[in-house]
Structure 1
Amino acid sequence: MKISAFLNMMEEIAPFDHAEEFDSDKIGLVVEGTEDIDVICCALDPTIHAITTAESIGADMLVVHHTPLFTPVTRITGTTARILHILLKNEINLFVMHTNFDHAEGGINDALADMIGLSNRARMTMGIVGDCPLTLNQLILKLGCGVRVYGTIDRLDRVAVVGGSGFSQDLMEQALDLGADAFISSEMKHSTARLAPLPCIEATHYALESPGMKALAMRMGWTYISDPPESCLLV
């Protein structure tokens, strides 16, 4: 497949104009490599592990959710230099699909809702609300990560899910209007938690977004590279 055909295919999966305004110049082909695309890998983040694994597989393209060049680059050093060196040396293309894939049908939030088993779904401006078949303990096991619960969860009949950093007052109000009993996202701020209009479940960013990239890889026949961040809870 030529790179032009690949880009057209990705536009159909997650149209660029679905991206949030802050994100519109940070998606798509961010590192250009070979023109011929045969072997494609997929990961959530362009980590050193993901890049070197793609290199060892002989990938021509690595598709990720998060760009390594999110802010204007004024110098190339450290990990960024290593990432770019490996990509450019091996002519591996790097393609980013971020908030456009959050919004896309079959994207990050749909995959998260599928994993939890939500039904009777309604879309918010970002994220999904649906009927939940799980208890809180079952939900935590399904997410596969430690969570923090803010507020008291009396029932979990209907929940809102937003992959990534989705705790905003506006989205929580939307979720409440759509009948949500709880709101699941990541990276809760103290001030936001204090004003939350419904109970919140804070999971890790990786746990909420990696299922979407894994599902995409399975759907497309690509190689998915798992690379969860190392962390532990000390009490």
Structure 2
Amino acid sequence: MDIQRFITAMEQVAPPELAEDYDAGKIGLVVEGKDEIGTVCCALDATERVVEAAVRAGADMLVVHHTPLWSPITAVRGPMSHLLRTILAARMNLYVMHTNFDRAEGGVNDVLASKLGLFATERMTVGLVGDCSLDVTEIVRRLPGGGIRVYGEIETIRRLALVGGGGFDPDLIREAAALGAEAFLSAELKHSVARASPIPCLEATHYALEAPAMEALSSRMGWHYIPDPPHVVVVL
């Protein structure tokens, strides 16, 4: 497939206009390679391990959720030098679908809601609220890559709000509570936000909340999925 046809197809899956303003210049084709796309790999992050696996698989395109190029680069050294050298030497394209894929139909939040068995869902400004019958143990069982931290008292949750990625915004939590949510699931919770929240907060990892959507996208498109869970060491 020609690279422009591939980009057009991806923009239908996750329209760029759905992205948050801070994603300007950080989504779409962020590293340009070959003009013809045959083999496509997909992962959550463009880590060195993922990039090397994609090169071994003969990928012409690697689709990820998080760009490795968050800030303007003024020097290319260390891990970034190795990462870019590997991508460019293979002439592999790198395509990013971030907050536009979070919000898209069938994107991060939709896949997460399906994985947790939510129904009668309503869209928030960002994220979803849906009916369910879940306790914390069941949520942990259904999410990949470890447990969650709970702030507040929770038994069975009948209505859950969720936002893939770091979505613990006070305004969003209040919006979720107004829609009847009994708990709020996301990542990167600040202590001050947890203390002020009108409903219990469930803090998972980015990987647990977002990797399922990238795996589902890969399966849907017939791509090769590269799992790369973070290595977490618990010291007691």
**Partners of 1:28 and 1:149 in 2: CA distance:** 35
Contact 2:135/2:155 (8 A) holds in 1: no
> Whole-Å Cα distance in 2 between the matches of residues 84 and 102 of structure 1?
26
- TM-score normalised to structure 1 length: 0.98
Alignment-derived partner of residue 233 in structure 1: 234
Q: Which residue of 2 aligns with 1:191?
A: 192
- Aligned match of 2:71: 71
Give the deviation of 1:55 after TM superposition: 0.3
SS in 2 for 1:130: strand
Count of residue correspondences: 235
Inter-partner Cα distance in structure 1 for 2:89 and 2:233 = 35
CA contact 2:134–2:156 (8 Å) conserved in 1: no
The answer on 1:203 being equivalent to 2:208 is: no
Contact 1:128 1:161 in 2 (8 A): yes
User: 1:77-124, CA deviations, whole angstroms, 9 ceiling, x for partnerless residues?
Assistant: 111111110110000000001010011010011111111010000001
Q: So what's the TM-score if we normalise by structure 2? A: 0.97
Partners in 1 of 2:105 and 2:74 — Cα distance? 36
CA deviations over 1:181-203 (Å, ceiling 9, x no partner):
10000111111111111100001
8 Å contact 1:16–1:24 — kept in the other structure?
no
d(CA) in 1 for partners of 2:125 and 2:79?
Answer: 34
> 1:5-16 to 2 correspondence within 5 Å?
5-16=5-16
2:34 corresponds to: 34
What residue number does 1:221 align with? 222
- Aligned-residue RMSD, C-alpha: 0.9
Q: What stretches of structure 1 move > 4 A for 4+ residues in a row?
A: none
CA contact (8 A) 1:17 1:24 kept: no
2:118 is the alignment partner of 1:122 = no
SS of the counterpart of 2:166? Answer: coil
Judge conservation of contact 1:62–1:93 (CA < 8 Å) in 2: yes
Contact 1:55 1:90 in 2 (8 A): yes
In structure 2, what residue type is equivalent to 1:94?
L
Tell me if structure 2 keeps the 8 A contact 1:150–1:193.
Answer: yes
